[in-house]
Amino acid sequence: MSVDKDTVRRIARLARLALDESQIAAMESELNAMLAWVEQLQEVDCAGVEPMTSVVAQRLRMRDDIVNDGGYPDDLMKNAPLSEEHFFVVPKVVE
């Protein structure tokens, strides 16, 4: 696939970019170089390659999901300007 000047103008308009004629020519060559690189990547045989998130195999460290500070709703609500049944009461903002 190749990009021409009309396509560059359309892309620039869609991206809300103001490009003059000298910039359009430069952008045309840059976009064509990017597309050539993508076409080159499509030639790589990646059948049988496992998807990965990093070049180094990593395992996430897991921790126990333990409540370590809580169970004090009365103490928590002491500083609330308005509360009801251990919930904060806020003014209605959406009608």
The pLDDT, as a whole number, for residue 37 is: 94
0.85 exceeded by the pTM? no
The pLDDT, as a whole number, for residue 55 is: 84
Identity of the amino acid at 67: V
Residue 33 gets the label, from left (phi > 0), alpha (psi -120 to 50) or beta, of alpha
For 1-50, how does the pLDDT look when each residue is reduced to its tens digit (9 = 90+)?
A: 789 999 999 999 999 999 998 899 999 999 999 999 999 998 999 898 88
The span from the first CA to the last CA of the chain, in angstroms, equals 52
Identity of the amino acid at 12: A
The pLDDT, as a whole number, for residue 9 is: 95
For 52-85, how does the pLDDT look when each residue is reduced to its tens digit (9 = 90+)?
A: 888 888 888 888 888 777 778 888 888 889 989 8
The residues that bridge with 83 in the sheet, in sequence order, are 88
The pLDDT, as a whole number, for residue 79 is: 87
